[in-house]
Structure 1
């Protein structure tokens, strides 16, 4: 049996800002379980401007008491592949775990688009599949745990993105408030004398 999850959310920020925040979302206070994130490959199609990125993410896992004999090392490697199309204002990300796949495989797809009702906002559609190949009557139990944990982590991920977006907004406001003449000589200063 497979557990499915779907959720659509929105951010009151422009698509450009949300997709930029996506690359900056680690670290944040809601992602303490993320231990590392590395870019493995990145390329831009010169004809279309489409950006393709592959990243490897290391996360610290959590197991219920009844599952602690199933896995010795709970750290999980996640492969994340993303495609950003600046012409259609669409970003699609796909992630899946590389280890512990027999116990539980989590496959997630997120699609970031301009919000259909407000062009200054961004809509995010999240879809996931949780699959366990365990037998002995544990499949349903593992998949139920997986879907509940995924929903909890998705809520934290949205809070993390909101945190990063707010920091970007604050930085932009500070930059806009800084006088453009900062560092330039004041109008009352005299010209340097020629020797």
Structure 2
């Protein structure tokens, strides 16, 4: 098993980032995502937590040696369950691969929360636990190493793509101050 983790900061307040997260796809940097379907969405009446379950369809650049070994297609499906908590001001997304999960299990958790020092910034933490299942440990290691490299590559591209989504939303919303923490607290 291998673990990938990263952390970065976005120069937008949590309200803006959490609103933009629903519009993350499509974007020009994440062309591998070809569809996002909402399967379920509900609000807990006692906590106010919004839970959303989505199916994400991706076209993956899977090495031919992996496809030759296991068969299959370069189209894959990911189940994502998110919880947006307005009280604790956190957005947590948990995803798991549905395709080829008997050969490779990828459990990813992404969390967005306000920066404790600067309310106009949002901290993003991403962790993925990657585990390959094969008879030979050497093959497992190779698949896991490749998967971690893909995560590292996709995380860098994903950040650039999400930044463009954040900018677009800031440009299209007439009163960007609605995303400023000071304006939200004053309301």
- Tell whether the structures are fold-level matches, with TM greater than 0.5: yes
Paired residue secondary structure (1:78): strand
Q: How does 1:6-155 map to 2 (within 5 A)?
A: 6-69=5-68, 70-136=70-136, 137-155=138-156
Match of 1:184 in 2: none
Q: How far apart in 2 are the matches of 1:9 and 1:67?
A: 31
Paired residue secondary structure (1:123): strand
CA contact (8 A) 2:41 2:52 kept: yes
Q: Aligned-pair distance for 1:155?
A: 1.2
CA contact (8 A) 1:102 1:134 kept: no
TM value normalised by structure 1 = 0.85
Q: Find runs of 4+ consecutive structure 1 residues off by over 2 angstroms.
A: none
- Determine which structure has more spread, i.e. the larger CA radius of gyration: 1
Match of 2:178 in 1: none
Q: Aligned-pair distance for 1:20?
A: 0.7
Paired residue secondary structure (2:124): strand
Q: Aligned-pair distance for 1:142?
A: 0.3
Taking only aligned residues, the RMSD between alpha carbons, in angstroms, comes to: 1.4
TM value normalised by structure 2 = 0.89
Q: How far apart in 2 are the matches of 1:129 and 1:71?
A: 23
Q: How far apart in 1 are the matches of 2:148 and 2:71?
A: 18
User: Which protein has the bigger helix share?
Assistant: 2
Q: How far apart in 1 are the matches of 2:142 and 2:149?
A: 11
Q: How far apart in 2 are the matches of 1:156 and 1:71?
A: 28
Deviates further, 9-18 or 130-139: 130-139
Q: How far apart in 1 are the matches of 2:61 and 2:109?
A: 22
Spell out, residue by residue over 1:8-66, the C-alpha distance to the aligned partner (whole angstroms, 9 max, x if none).
Answer: 11100010110111100111001111111100000011222110000000001112232
